[in-house]
């Protein structure tokens, strides 16, 4: 397998550079001196890492982009678009902006720029400085004006769709004051890491590019190589840009390794969730498996001893006969349930103190710019990728119980939040008592196995993306205990007093504006193309579960359902911390009792 770093373009020769005298009036918007620097730009492009790319400063002649900004502000409308992959306001599609139209007449500078950058002369210049074969770029116009405001972002991908060949971004951000790191919106580039017979992006960017006014960034798009993203915008100034692609006549080779193709693949190596492990009570699990093999469900016996054990951790309100019956009925009707204030006060208060201390120490959330990609990473918390599917910190399990025992006699304010969560995962969630409890509540029987992990989603940094590698062969019971800033209460609005009832932090999480919610969607039909991933109306949302302090969610997920945790914005009150497990609860194929309702049924 060839390393991406070794795939370097040829360096253009000076005789292919465009001089001011040889360029037509089409190129008037572009700074003339740039057209004479082909060899220099080609050399810089070739030497760049983690893959070939370059930035052209002072791209347009003085004053030209200011005219485009005025035209966009007075003549264009923006459309908000959001999926698991991005959050953006999209404006004019220049491919549909035709000469002679009324809109084109009102935007003469934008038309001049479009005609210049897609002219034969400038396409030849791009071929030269990007190391491409002469005449390989077509005249297809594919670009749009985009606006990223506070909170907007675009997650990691390689830009490979169809016949795209070169990606470019012309930045229209404020010239004064200059854009800085604390404003966000940087172009983020990723290493390509070998994985079997292909490459995946690392969890964290290795280089960033500021969106400086009147600069143009460009790179050749290549499957499994040109991994990049747009960092969240942290400021109140808009990150305006004209972003687009040059095309060739044919799609690239190995297009099956493109990120959007990989998101829709169930092939080997696409699963990010791990393998199922047997429950602690192997005898009970074995009996459940045997019963399942006989075609009947096992009905777990939830005893008073189980209740006594669980009462050491769980709010006892969820252990009474009345509440158990109520929860079971609701789950059977809706295939999901949300249990607020799940842990007792002793456990919830300790965990809240621990994660609050860590978030404050790391200076994340509450609109603090997330400038350090390595914040929170240490020997206990590791960054998990690949970035085109997920990024979060995962606690390295196995030391929680021992660590807590050793610290019992000392001050507990030094306990890592992960140690508490690790203790709960090992001693509560993986216990036979808990297995019988959820088996009875869900009426799905004692779980045959589990898999899961302890996660931290840092504001301004972390997320998961819906992909086919998440899909399971059999149904699972998603069981997630979430912790975050707030009180964990359901907010309401008093119309008489015009006031919010509940904490501000709870309301922020419930709004969804800062992400952090877990969303369930139907997998697309197999014949839908990768372009559909950029359609905000493409996915059928089945359920959305807001982040909420000390709240357990139980969700029945069938083999055709995907899920994701929406990117947590820097404006979130805190990190999202959770224990996320899946329990194997195989049921009869013709049992349609447990199904999430579709949009039509909601």
**Bigger pLDDT: 198 or 35?**
35
Question: What's the sign of the alpha-carbon dihedral 166, 172, 174, 176?
Answer: positive
pLDDT of residue 500: 72
Q: The domain 282-584: what is its CATH number?
A: 3.60.130.20
For residue range 404-431, what is the model confidence (pLDDT) as tens digits? Answer: 654 554 455 589 999 999 999 999 999 9
pTM: 0.91
Q: Poorest-confidence range of 72-76, 84-88, 283-287, 554-558?
A: 283-287
pLDDT of residue 9: 43
Average pLDDT, the chain: 88
Token output for 452: 């899961």
pLDDT of residue 397: 86
Token output for 143: 């670009």
Report the candidate in 573, 554, 577, 457 with the shortest Cα–Cα distance to residue 506: 573
pLDDT of residue 387: 98
The single-letter DSSP state of residue 360 is H
CA 121 – CA 439 distance, rounded (Å): 68
Report the candidate in 458, 477, 451 with the shortest Cα–Cα distance to residue 390: 458
Mean pLDDT, rounded, for 263-277: 86
* Strand 216-220 to 54-56 pairing: antiparallel
pLDDT of residue 117 exceeding 70:
yes
The single-letter DSSP state of residue 427 is I
Instruction: Please indicate whether the domains covering 27-263 and 282-584 agree at the CATH topology level.
Output: no
For residue range 290-307, what is the model confidence (pLDDT) as tens digits? Answer: 555 555 555 667 888 999
Mean pLDDT, rounded, for 186-198: 92
Mean pLDDT, rounded, for 436-449: 94
Concatenating the DSSP letter of every residue in 482-514 gives: EE-SS--PPPEEETTTTEEES-HHHHHHHH-TT
Mean pLDDT, rounded, for 51-65: 97
Give the start-to-end residue ranges of the domains of the chain.
Answer: 27-263, 282-584
pLDDT of residue 90 exceeding 80:
yes
Share of the chain above pLDDT 90, in %: 73
Burial (Cβ within 10 Å: 0-12, 13-18, ≥19) of residue 79:
exposed
pLDDT of residue 124: 97
For residue range 374-404, what is the model confidence (pLDDT) as tens digits? Answer: 999 999 999 999 999 999 999 998 755 555 6
pLDDT of residue 288 exceeding 50:
yes
Q: Within 13 Å, how many C-alpha atoms sit on residue 77's CB side? A: 2
Q: Which CATH architecture has domain 27-263?
A: Sandwich (2.60)
pLDDT category of residue 514 using cuts at 50, 70 and 90? very high
Report the candidate in 291, 303, 310, 370 with the shortest Cα–Cα distance to residue 585: 291
Share of the chain above pLDDT 70, in %: 85
Instruction: Annotate 188-198 with b (16+ C-beta within 10 A) or e (fewer).
Output: bbbbbeeeeeb
Residue 283 CA: distances (Å) to CA of 279, 298, 447, 448: 9, 13, 12, 11
pLDDT category of residue 601 using cuts at 50, 70 and 90? very low
pLDDT of residue 281: 67
For residue range 527-556, what is the model confidence (pLDDT) as tens digits? Answer: 555 555 555 554 578 899 999 999 999 999
pLDDT of residue 527: 52
Mean pLDDT, rounded, for 42-59: 97
pLDDT of residue 541: 81
Q: Poorest-confidence range of 49-53, 125-129, 131-135, 293-297?
A: 293-297
pLDDT of residue 2 exceeding 90:
no
Q: Which of 79-83, 277-281, 536-540 has the highest mean pLDDT?
A: 79-83
pLDDT of residue 547: 98
SS3 301: coil
pLDDT of residue 260: 92
Number of H helices, E strands in the chain: 14, 26
**Bigger pLDDT: 281 or 200?**
200
pLDDT of residue 224: 94
Phi first, then psi, for residue 234 (nearest 5°) are -95, -10
Q: How far is C-alpha 278 from the chain's CA centre?
A: 30
Count of C-beta atoms within a 10 Å radius of residue 402:
12
pLDDT of residue 20: 43
Concatenating the DSSP letter of every residue in 8-75 gives: PPPPPPGGGSPPTTTS-GGGTTB-GGGGG-HHHHHHHHHH-SSSS-EEESS-B-TTHHHHHHHHHHHH
């Amino acid at each position: 397998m060839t390393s991406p770093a070794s795939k370097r373009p040829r360096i253009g020769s000076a005789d292919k550079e465009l001089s001011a005298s040889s360029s037509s009036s089409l190129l008037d918007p572009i700074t003339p001196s740039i057209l004479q620097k082909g060899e220099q730009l080609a050399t810089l492009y070739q030497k760049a890492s983690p893959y070939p790319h370059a930035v052209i400063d002072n791209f347009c002649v003085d004053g030209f982009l200011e005219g485009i900004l005025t035209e966009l502000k007075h003549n264009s409308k923006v459309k908000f678009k959001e999926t698991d992959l991005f959050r953006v306001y999209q404006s004019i599609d220049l491919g549909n902006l035709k000469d002679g139209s009324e809109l084109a007449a009102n935007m003469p500078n934008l038309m001049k720029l479009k005609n210049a950058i897609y002219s034969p002369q400038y396409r030849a210049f791009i071929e030269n400085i990007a190391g491409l074969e002469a005449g390989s770029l077509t005249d297809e116009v594919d670009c749009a004006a985009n606006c990223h405001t506070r909170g907007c972002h675009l997650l990691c991908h390689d830009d490979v769709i169809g016949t795209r060949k070169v990606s470019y971004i012309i930045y229209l951000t404020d010239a004064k004051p200059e854009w800085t790191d604390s404003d966000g919106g940087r172009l983020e580039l990723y290493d390509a890491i070998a994985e079997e017979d292909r490459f995946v992006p690392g969890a964290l960017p290795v280089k960033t590019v500021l969106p400086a006014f009147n600069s143009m960034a460009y790179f050749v798009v290549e499957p499994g190589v040109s991994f990049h993203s747009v960092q969240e915008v942290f400021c109140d100034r808009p990150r305006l840009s004209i972003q687009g692609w040059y095309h060739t006549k044919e799609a690239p080779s190995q297009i099956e390794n493109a990120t959007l193709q990989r998101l829709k693949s169930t092939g080997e190596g696409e699963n990010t969730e791990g393998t199922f492990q047997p429950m602690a009570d192997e005898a009970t699990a074995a009996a459940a498996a045997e019963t399942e093999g006989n075609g009947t469900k096992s009905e777990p016996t939830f005893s008073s001893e189980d209740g006594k054990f669980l009462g050491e951790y769980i709010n006892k309100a969820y252990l009474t006969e009345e509440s158990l019956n109520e929860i079971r009925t609701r789950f059977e009707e809706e295939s999901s349930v949300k249990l607020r204030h799940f842990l007792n006060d002793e456990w919830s208060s300790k965990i809240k103190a621990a994660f609050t201390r860590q978030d404050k120490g790391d200076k994340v959330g509450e609109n603090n710019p997330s400038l350090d990609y390595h914040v929170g990473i240490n020997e206990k918390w590791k960054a998990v990728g690949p970035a085109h599917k997920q990024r979060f910190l995962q606690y390295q399990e196995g030391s929680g119980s021992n660590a807590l025992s050793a610290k019992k006699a000392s001050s507990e304010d030094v306990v890592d939040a992960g140690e508490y969560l690790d203790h709960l995962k090992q001693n509560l969630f993986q216990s036979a008592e808990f297995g019988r409890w959820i088996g009875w509540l869900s009426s799905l029987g004692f779980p045959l196995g589990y898999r899961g992990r302890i996660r931290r989603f840092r504001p301004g940094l972390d997320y998961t993306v819906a992909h086919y590698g998440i899909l399971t062969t059999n149904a699972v019971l998603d069981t997630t205990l979430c912790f975050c800033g707030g009180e964990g209460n359901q907010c309401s609005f008093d119309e008489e007093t015009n006031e919010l009832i509940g904490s501000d932090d709870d309301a922020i999480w419930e709004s969804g504006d800062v992400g952090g919610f877990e969303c369930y969607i139907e997998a697309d039909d197999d014949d839908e193309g990768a372009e559909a991933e950029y359609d905000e109306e493409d996915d059928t949302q089945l359920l959305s579960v807001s982040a909420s302090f000390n709240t357990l969610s139980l969700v029945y997920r069938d083999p055709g359902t995907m899920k994701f945790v929406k990117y947590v914005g820097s404006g979130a009150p805190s990190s999202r911390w959770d224990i996320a497990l899946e329990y194997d609860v195989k049921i009869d194929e013709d049992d349609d009792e447990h199904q999430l309702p579709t949009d039509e049924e909601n």
